[in-house]
Chains A and B, each alone.
Chain A
Amino acid sequence: MSHSKIETSNNFKTPIFAILVLGIIFAAGLFIVGFDQGHIFSLVYGEQAFTDLYIHELTHDMRHAAGFPCH
C-alpha cells in the first residue's frame, strides 16, 4: 500500500530589509495605539498637542480593552 504525502520546506532567508521595515511598522503602530500622549501631533501643534491628546482620545477605548495603561 502506498502513501502519498505533501511536505513543505522553507528554504529561503527572510531579507534583513523586510525585517527592518516590519520592525518599524510594529514599533510605530504600538506607540500610536498604546502609548502616545500627544507626542506625535506635538511635532506639528507643539505643546497644545499634549493638552488635546487627540490620538490618545481616539484610541482610548482600544487602550483600555487591550490592556494598555490609560487614565
Chain B
Amino acid sequence: MISGALAGLIHGTVNFAIVEPYLDQAIGIENQNLFASGEEEDTQEFWVEYEGYRMWQKSGQILAGVILGTSIGALFGIVFALSRNSLPGNHDVKKSLVLAGVMWFTLYLIPFLKYPANPPTVGDTETVVLRAILYLSFIAISGFGALAFYKLSKKFKNNKKLVSLIGYGVFITAVFFAMPENPDEINAPMTLVNEFRLMSVLGVSSFWISIGFLLGLFWNRFESHKESIPYT
C-alpha cells in the first residue's frame, strides 16, 4: 500500500504537470458555454470564485492520486504475493515490473481503447452511471479473463502456453466488439480530446511503472521469508 501511495503521489504530480493544462482548457470551454447560455455571468466575482475552486480541485488531484494509488497498491500487493513464484525474472523488481506491465495492459490499456478518457465538456451527467457500469464491467471482464487464461496456461507445457495467450486475445477482441459504445457524443475539439487522452495515458503509465518498481524494491528489501541458496 505504501508503494501504491507513493506511485499515486507520482501519478498525481505528473497529472498536475501534464494533464491539468488540458483540463483547464476544457473547463474554459464549459465556462464559455455557461456565459453563452446565461447560466453564469462573466464577472470578476465569477473568476475569483472559479480560481479558488480550481485550486481546490487541483490539490484534490494529488490527494485522489494517493487514495487511488493506495487502493490499486492493495490489489497489486495481493496479485504479486499470489503470483510471485510464477512471474519471470530473477529479482523482485523485475517480477514486479512484469506484473505491473500485465496489469497495465489488461486493466487499463484495453479498457481505455474501448472507453478512452475524456476531458470535461465531454460526458452527459445523465449517462454517468451507465458509463461507469460499462467501464467497470470491461475492466473486470478483461482482468478475470486474463486470470482465467493464465490458469489455463498452467495446464499446458512450454510452447503450448502461447495457445492461452492467443485465447485471451480472441476472447477480449470479441468482448471489445460486443460491449456497447460510449453513449455520449464528443462535442469538444478533437485536437484537445486526443492530446488530453495522450497525456492521460502517460500519467497512468507513470503510475504503473512507479508501482512496479517500488513494490519490487520494498518486497526485496523487507521480505522476511526469503531463503538464500548459494551454490557453486
- Where the two chains meet, the residues of A that have a C-beta atom closer than 8 Å to any C-beta of B are 2-12, 14, 19, 22-23, 25-30, 32-35, 37, 57-71
Contacts and interface: CB of A to CB of B under 8 A. Distances in A.
Contacts of A26: 71-72, 74-75, 78
Interface of B: 1, 11-12, 15, 19-20, 23, 56-58, 60-61, 63-65, 67-68, 70-72, 74-75, 77-78, 81-82, 84-85, 90, 92, 108, 111-112, 115-120, 123-125, 128-129, 131-132, 134-136, 196, 199-200, 203-204, 223, 225-232
A6 B72 contact: no
Given A30-B71, A71-B128, A61 B228 contact: no
Interface core residue of B56, B64, B111, B196 (most chain A CB under 10 Å): B64
A22 B225 contact: no
Given A61-B23, A61-B57, A67-B204, A37 B129 contact: yes
A19 B60 contact: no
Given A10-B85, A58-B56, A69 B71 contact: no
Given A3-B232, A6-B230, A65-B200, A25 B128 contact: no
B228 A62 contact: no
Given A7-B228, A65-B15, 9 more contacts: A9-B227, A10-B225, A22-B1, A30-B72, A65-B19, A67-B112, A68-B132, A70-B120, A70-B128
Contacts, number: 158
Nearest to B136: A35
A64 B78 contact: no
B221 to A, nearest CB: 12
B131 A67 contact: no
A60 B74 contact: no
Contacts of A62: 12, 15, 60-61, 64-65, 68
15 contacts: A5-B231, A6-B228, A11-B225, A12-B225, A28-B71, A32-B71, A33-B64, A33-B68, A37-B129, A59-B63, A61-B19, A62-B65, A67-B115, A69-B115, A71-B125
A8 B132 contact: no
B227 A8 contact: yes
CB-based closest 5 A-B pairs: A29-B71, A62-B64, A69-B131, A67-B117, A58-B60
Nearest to B20: A61
Contacts of A59: 60-61, 63-64, 67
B78 A29 contact: no
Given A8-B228, A22-B77, A26-B74, A69 B12 contact: no
Given A23-B78, A35-B136, A71-B123, A66 B85 contact: no
B67 A33 contact: yes
